[in-house]
Amino acid sequence: MNVKEEKLLSQNSIISRFQVMLMACTAGISVANIYYNQPILKDIATTFHTSESKAGFISMLSQVGYGLGLFFITPLGDKMNKKDLIIALQTLLLAALLLITIAGDIMQVWALSMLIGLLSVSVQVVMPMAAGLDSESRGKNVGTVFTGVLIGILAARVFSGTIAEWLGWRYVYLFSAIAVALVTILMRIYLPDVKNPFKGNYLQLMVSALRQVKRFSLLRVTSLIGALQFGLFCSFWTTLTFHLSGAPFYFHTNVIGLFGLVAIAGALLAPFLGKKTDKGKTGYIRMAAWCLVMVSILLMILFPTSVLLLVLAVLLLDIGILALQVTNVALIYSLDETSHSRINTIFMTSVFTGGALGTTFGLFCWQHWGWQGVTWQMLIFGLLIFMLLMQEKRAHVY
């Protein structure tokens, strides 16, 4: 048995189902902080007597902050003890959440939202940690953690909408701070220490991260797919608040938040999809997922005022996006086990840059052409994803 095999065996022996579930909970609680603002943008705008467009920048800045954290912070997962890095990020996130509860104007909310996004990247240290601890069940473990991520994203809307309706939007961040504090304590107690092979300095680490783009054509294509799919996803969820709060619906914040419950059902499929990926079903899952996304968008274009069909569209969209993301992550983590965090940095930076651009395009389309403009923008993104999937297939990636 060589040194690498001994290392993998040692790591496999320390991972447990409880630890995977704890990582999933931590990931969900962390990433939710980027999305709490979406159902409460109108409430924040009202508090500070500003426009919906200016309030919408909160979502964009949260994602920009997340993108910056992905690029500049998450590569450290290949150099530092992952557990220590996660704990440090969670502790700083707790402080930022407490500060936003006492923000005095929209500029402070913008700045703190960007900081919260920056510090929420702990989820992207957790993800490669879960992938590296057990290579034989990588797809299953990644699927489980990603279930936590997606539930966090979707439940964030339900949670924030309900809390804001009864107590006000500031309490959303206060309760989040309590949850972050709790999982940080549990992680300190139960998360394993993981030593990393990279011994260079920070500059060498960043240069090495950038080199992953040149090393792997799969990483380049998958990163573009991830950017487009998440841009589409963010366009939808950011503007859905405005669509449902206006004619002909006039839904309150708590009702808008309930749409997230519909999508959570799809998140429960992640471990199943991960198992299928472990068994080599990647190509089938990716094309089926794209079809679900396109059906969802067409339903929104053709039936923009039907609540029933909008609920169906939400379910199909989130299952499709989930399936694409689980297979994306499983594919990139198969490239080089010693560079998981650096590879993840390139991929997730692309994904959340796409999310920020998607939010920006979505707000622009909403302002100029309303819901129809948003749905047509989503359709264009979907067609671009198809072109890239065909490129993957021609390259015999799977």
For 251-270, b/e burial (b = at least 16 CB within 10 A) is bebbbbbebbebbbebbebb
**In angstroms, what CA-CA distances link 73 with 31, 204, 209, 234?**
15, 14, 11, 23
Q: Can you give the pLDDT at residue 1?
A: 35
Full-model pTM? 0.76
Contacts within 8 Å (CB) and 24+ apart, 265-270: 265/315, 266/150, 266/315, 266/318, 266/319, 266/322, 267/147, 267/150, 267/151, 267/154, 267/318, 267/322, 268/147, 269/319, 269/322, 269/323, 270/143, 270/144, 270/146, 270/147, 270/150, 270/322, 270/326
- CA atoms of 218 and 398, how far apart (whole Å): 10
Q: Can you give the pLDDT at residue 139?
A: 67
- CA atoms of 311 and 279, how far apart (whole Å): 32
Q: Can you give the pLDDT at residue 392?
A: 81
What angle, rounded to 10 degrees, do the helices at 340-394 and 52-72 form? 110
CATH number at residue 282: 1.20.1250.20
Domain count, the chain: 1
| Lookup result for tokens 């992207």 | 124
Q: Single out the residue of 361, 348, 119 nearest to residue 238, CA to CA.
A: 361
Q: Single out the residue of 167, 29, 160 nearest to residue 93, CA to CA.
A: 29
The torsion defined by the Cα of 374, 380, 385 and 388, in degrees rounded to 10, comes to -150
Please measure the distance between the N-terminal and C-terminal CA atoms of the chain and give it in whole angstroms.
30
- Kindly list the averaged pLDDT for each block of 10 residues, start to end, along the chain of length 398: 40 68 94 89 89 83 86 88 93 96 93 95 87 68 81 82 90 96 94 76 90 91 94 90 87 75 69 63 84 96 93 89 84 80 88 86 92 96 95 69
- CA atoms of 331 and 222, how far apart (whole Å): 8
Encoded tokens for 224: 């573009």
Q: Can you give the pLDDT at residue 131?
A: 72
- CA atoms of 15 and 292, how far apart (whole Å): 34
Q: Can you give the pLDDT at residue 242?
A: 86
Q: Can you give the pLDDT at residue 352?
A: 78
For 332-342, b/e burial (b = at least 16 CB within 10 A) is bbbbebebbbb
Task: Give the domain extent around 265.
Answer: 3-394
Q: Can you give the pLDDT at residue 7?
A: 45
Q: Can you give the pLDDT at residue 89?
A: 97
